[in-house]
Structure 1
Amino acid sequence: MGKVGIFGSSFDPITNVHLWTASTVAHRYKLDFVIFLPSSHQRPDKRIHISDDHRWKLIRLAINDNDKFVANDYEMNQHAWDIATYHTLEHFKKVYSDDEVFFIMGADLLVDIGEGKWKKTKELVHENKFIVMARNDIDMLAVIARSPILRNADDGQTFHLVDKGLAMETSSTFIRDEFQQGGEPRYLLPEKCYEYIKNNNLYQNREKV
């Protein structure tokens, strides 16, 4: 049995922190590979600033030289009403039926799940495994303890908390703002991605390209 990590995000744009996070999690948890899963632009809780085509190309550029990284456009191709992390994980557990599948996320999302903000929350936490990364001084153990949904699913195998040395906070929002304001975020994302963004004039105005 292998181990597969599902790393979902807008990747708008993908950053060096995304790559470093995926690499570190794969190393610590002995994952065979990490799937970079860009979210659909149709999701009502997301505002995407560039086209799916550009985001997809940026991800491919960023992970091209790492054989433990895989890009998958499954959620990009789903209709808005079908999109839910529960359904997405059901899909990948069928694809990788002989492997152990983990959903990689930040502690901020753990808070949202604990508050019941996600679709099919109870089924999601009872039927899946999560690798949760530290974020913004969030006490992950306290989040689990405060939430009946989370604490009743916490069997020692459901939540794998990464709270040491994995809390870099440079965000895609910061990079977008730097591009828009004429800043220089060159070394916050892969060089090939930086060049692609500059050459295609992405994030440098408020209109979606």
Structure 2
Amino acid sequence: MAKIGIYGSSFDPITNVHLWTASTIAHRAKLDKVVFLPCSSRRADKEMKTDNEHRWNMLQLGIKDNPIFEASDYEINEHAGTGKQYTFYTMEYFKKHYPKDDIFFIMGADLLQDIDDQEVPVYKRWKHREELIANHKFIVMARDGIDMLKVISKSPLLRNYDNGSTFHLIDKGLSMEISSSYIRDEFSMGGEPRYLMPEACYQYIMENGLYQKD
């Protein structure tokens, strides 16, 4: 049985921090594979700056040198812009795709907090959250200022399914929070974020004129 982590993000563009995070989690959680899952540009809750094709191409360039990294086009192709975009359906898909393996959804502590945030109305919490938590496992990365154990203890849903294997909490140690949006801003303002991403991705951005100011 392999251990596989599903790592979803916009990857707009993929950065060295994405790669370092995936590598760190694979090492700490003893994963055999990390599947990078770019979200669709048609997601209702996200505003993509770059179309699916460019983000997919950059992702392929960014992960090509690591044999345990793979990419999945499930969200950008199979269910773009439909109700099936919810994390529950995504995890059900991967559970069926890898029936003999142990599947984990990789998320930040901020997303763990959002799933069943007691401070917001029920309708604003994650869709199908009970089925998601009851049937799947999670690797949760620390975020500055968020106490992961307190987040779990404050939510009846998370607390009731905290059986020792549902949540694998990881403190990454070194804080590296350079974001895709920071890189996009640097490009748009004429900056030079070359060494914040894989070289092949930087060259792709320059050749295709992505994120550049008009």
What TM-score, normalized to structure 2? 0.93
> What corresponds to 1:88 in structure 2?
90
Q: Percent identity?
A: 61
| RMSD between aligned residues | 1.2
CA distance, structure 1, for counterparts of residue 172 and residue 52 of structure 2? 33
What TM-score, normalized to structure 1? 0.95
User: Where has structure 1 moved over 3 Å in runs of 4 or more?
Assistant: none
> What corresponds to 2:80 in structure 1?
79
- Give runs of aligned pairs for residues 5-24 of structure 1, distance below 5 A: 5-24=5-24
- Give runs of aligned pairs for residues 91-102 of structure 1, distance below 5 A: 91-102=93-104
Unaligned segments of structure 1, at least 5 residues: none
Unaligned segments of structure 2, at least 5 residues: none
- Give runs of aligned pairs for residues 19-168 of structure 1, distance below 5 A: 19-77=19-77, 78-80=79-81, 81-115=83-117, 117-165=125-173, 167-168=175-176
| Deviation, structure 1 residue 152 | 1.1
Q: Retained in 2: the 8 A contact 1:133–1:162?
A: yes
Q: Retained in 2: the 8 A contact 1:15–1:172?
A: yes
Cα displacement string for residues 104-123 of structure 1 (whole angstroms, at most 9, x for unaligned residues): 11111111112262110111
CA distance, structure 2, for counterparts of residue 79 and residue 28 of structure 1? 32
CA distance, structure 2, for counterparts of residue 131 and residue 64 of structure 1? 23
CA distance, structure 2, for counterparts of residue 43 and residue 79 of structure 1? 7
Match of 2:90, SS state, is: helix
> What corresponds to 2:185 in structure 1?
177
Match of 1:196, SS state, is: helix
Match of 1:25, SS state, is: helix
AA paired with 1:71? Answer: A
Q: Retained in 2: the 8 A contact 1:133–1:167?
A: no
Cα displacement string for residues 182-205 of structure 1 (whole angstroms, at most 9, x for unaligned residues): 111111100110111111110114
